[in-house]
Amino acid sequence: IFICCCCSSTFLITHSTVLLNLTHSHSTVLLNLTHSHSTVLLNLTHSHSTVLLNLTHSHSTVLNLTHTHSTVLLNLTHSHSTVLNLTHTHSTVLLNLTHSHSTVLLNLTHTHSTVLLNLTHTHSTVLLNLTHTHSTVLLNLTHTHSTVLNLTHTHSTVLLNLTHSHSTVLLNLTHTHSTVLLNLTHSHSTVLLNLTHSHSTVLLNLTHSHSTVLLNLTHTHSTVLNLTHSHSTVLLNLTHSHSTVLLNLTHTHSTVLNLTHSHSTVLLNLTHSHSTVLLNLTHSHSTVLLNLTHSHSTVLLNLTHSHSTVLLNLTHSHSTVLLNLTHSHSTVLLNLTHSHSTVLLNLTHTHSTVLLNLTQHRSPQPDTLTQHRSPQPDTLTQHRSPQPDTLTQHRSPQPDTLTQHRSQPDTFTQHRSPQPDTAPFSST
């Protein structure tokens, strides 16, 4: 069945081949391809059409939106469909791939499209080529096993919701100015982000996730955030980067790596965490702020030949800190207030400045420490004298008065005898 679509008709197709030429048109196309095995070829070149395709339980193929300003709504629920090619388009693409096994190949080269992909409960493979695009991509990958690819030379905004997913996300953001928001809440996803030479902003929400995040931030100015309550493995390659890395590792079991030759600023919040942090700061000029309050973390810092500034707050922590400062010019400030941490410092051939605040750090005698700081050396000598009477005299405000009060026994006797010579004479 084929009906002229210029009058906004509705189709019901079973095993048909549909070729729609909508060149320079302003049509509205509604295609119901439920349970069909149709092949749909849409040529929407230079069109302003509105296309609504219901491909539920279909095995259809949808093709080609070159140079279009169309609005495309594709319902691919329970489908095995393939969707292709939005080159040089300003289209709005809404893809519902719920419970589908679709293969989605979107070529958005040089486009200004808005792509909304709902991949809930899908096993879809999504290949996104956003080269030189200004597209907005919203990907809902909830409970999915999907794969997402490639944002080279883009200014795109990418929002990835990977809640409860087991997805593999491969994002190539080389030479991009993209904004990437990744929600990996309760996910087991594998995220590989190549941000080489990019100015992207990456916001990672890994709350309660078991994801593996590999971030290549070589020569980047990127920002990476938030691993709360995660069991994620974070591998950060910040070689020759000027990135600002803010990692909230609260209640995490994460691992963080590698700042070689970087000028990065790293702020690590490891409050109440059991993380293993390995920071390679060789030949770096980084600023590292580590908050290890109430943590049981293991921190290994390699500061060889570095000019970094390291501030470690180990208040109330049980962490193990190993600092290799060989041939470094770093400034290390360690706050160990009320901590039970183990700090091992290798200062071989260093020019570093190490400031250790050990306030109430396993101090056995607080009173002795107070007297040790007394400005009177003689008083301290008397305190260590083996004569207990001297110590008593040291605390007496009036030693002469006490001695004189006890040294006149005759005066006390005479005080009770008013006239010793008169009594015998009166008796006679």
Residue for token digits 């390679």?
280
Residue 39: pLDDT band (50, 70, 90) is confident
In the chain, what are the domain boundaries?
Answer: 12-357
Which whole-number Å values give the CA distances from 40 to 10, 62, 365, in the listed order? 14, 5, 85
CA distance 407 to 234: 82
For 387-420, the pLDDT digits (tens) are 555 444 444 455 554 444 444 455 444 454 455 5
For 195-228, the pLDDT digits (tens) are 777 777 777 777 777 777 777 777 777 777 666 7
Residue for token digits 């005299």?
393
pLDDT in the model for residue 412: 46
Put the strands of the sheet holding 50-54 in their side by side order. Answer: 10-12, 28-32, 50-54, 71-75, 92-96, 114-118, 136-140, 157-161, 179-183, 201-205
Single-letter amino acid code for the residue at 30: L
For 246-297, the pLDDT digits (tens) are 667 777 777 766 667 777 677 777 778 777 777 777 888 878 777 888 888 8
pLDDT in the model for residue 413: 46
Question: What would the two tokens of residue 109 be?
Answer: 């080269």
Give pTM, 2 decimals. Answer: 0.56
For 119-154, the pLDDT digits (tens) are 777 777 776 676 776 767 777 777 777 777 666 777
